[in-house]
Amino acid sequence: MPDPPLPYRNLASYLRETFDRPVAKITVDAGFTCPMRDGTLDTEGCTFCAVDSFRPASLREPPSLEQQIDRARRRLRSRRPDLAFLVYFQPHTNTHASVDVLEKTYRHALLDDVVALSVGTRPDCVPDPVLDLLASYAPKRDVWLELGLQSAHDETLRRIRRRHDYACFADAVHRAMRRGLKTLAHVILGLPGEEAKHVRETARRLASLPLDGVKIHHLYVAEGTALAENWRRGNVKTLSVEEHADLATDFLERIPSDVVVHRLVSDPAPELLLAPRWEVSKPEALRLIVETFRRRGTRQGSRAKA
């Protein structure tokens, strides 16, 4: 018997519905920096951020962007010749440059078999000319703008040193939506000072926006971060896998059912991870979220306001 349908709308199902061929993701490093590290806003980064903890090992010393895309396409095509691709600009802030530099960078991904672009960035780094550039690609492919929010609570954003507020995020979403871009919010569950009620309120606020996708991460402590220092002092508590499953379910129950779920758990590099050290694999953590939905008899959007 086939597996029962998932209680949430995942990226794989969205891609199957949208394109007439299988789609694989290619994650690339375009060599950008971040305003929280280059001195534009700060030099120390957000309290939780260690770029190498979520950047694939193959991108620690990346070849040229053109080579990254070409090698990934060849490798993936060797297994399945009919593949199309989603190119994901992941590390750092991938709109933190002039429009001319961005245009020269993005053009490497504008290949005939690339049906979608996904650009990871901050809500305070998407001025209108940058959104206009991204929108110019939208007629021929999906263009996802991935905006790091982490929490809808300004007090939390100050605590984790984000240097923007929720209003900045909401404004970026509306400006992107008006240009036909697909918008996606990154959130972190288990942030210092937050409880389940904060997670539910973040979900409710996001549900009121014209979002197309969400990425859920669980808070993890990586070596080399300000968070690690606080963790060593005993001031940071991380979630168990069961606690994360409960919070992720709480969150998605309040997110409209048509929003695409791109991620449900973090995937940190083991060599940099301090906590939490779950005794389960990522697939097992995902299964636990599905089981939590089924135990509750709910699904994504069950508690979303009409």
Tens digit of each residue's pLDDT (9 = 90 or more) over 254-303: 999 999 999 999 999 899 999 999 999 999 999 999 999 999 999 999 99
Residue 280, classed as helix, strand or coil, is coil
Mean pLDDT of the chain: 94
d(CA 192, CA 135): 36
Q: Give the C-alpha separation, 297 to 291, whole Å.
A: 10
> Where residue 227 falls among pLDDT bands split at 50, 70, 90?
very high
* Residue recorded with tokens 């709910």: 298
Region for 217 from its dihedrals, namely left if φ exceeds 0, alpha if ψ lies in -120 to 50, beta otherwise? beta
* pLDDT score of 206 more than 60: yes
Instruction: Name residues whose C-beta falls within 8 Å of residue 176's C-beta, 6 or more positions apart in sequence.
Output: 126, 131, 134, 145, 183
Please state, as a whole number, how many other Cβ atoms lie within 10 Å of the Cβ of residue 242: 13
Q: How confident is the model at residue 59 (pLDDT cuts 50, 70, 90)?
A: low
What pLDDT sits at residue 260?
98
Per-residue model confidence (pLDDT) at position 58? 57
* Tens-place pLDDT, residues 177-200: 999 999 999 999 999 999 999 999
Which of 34-43, 46-55, 143-152, 208-217 is least confident?
A: 46-55
pLDDT at 305: 81
- Rounded to an integer, the average pLDDT of 131-140 is 97
Set out the domains of the chain in order of their start, with CATH numbers: 11-296 (3.20.20.70)
Which ranges of the chain would DSSP assign to H, the alpha helix? 11-18, 51-54, 65-79, 99-106, 128-135, 154-159, 166-178, 196-207, 226-232, 241-253, 282-296
Q: What is the pLDDT of residue 243?
A: 98
Straight-line distance from the first to the last Cα atom of the chain, in angstroms, rounded to the nearest whole number: 34
> Residue 38 and residue 154: Cα distance in Å, rounded?
23
Q: What percent of the chain has pLDDT over 90?
A: 91
| Cβ neighbours for 260, distance < 8 A, ≥ 6 positions apart | 9, 10, 11, 14, 184, 212, 213, 214
pLDDT at 50: 85
Q: What is the pLDDT of residue 57?
A: 60
Average pLDDT of the residues in 148-152 = 98
Average pLDDT of the residues in 100-119: 97
What pLDDT does 51 receive? 72
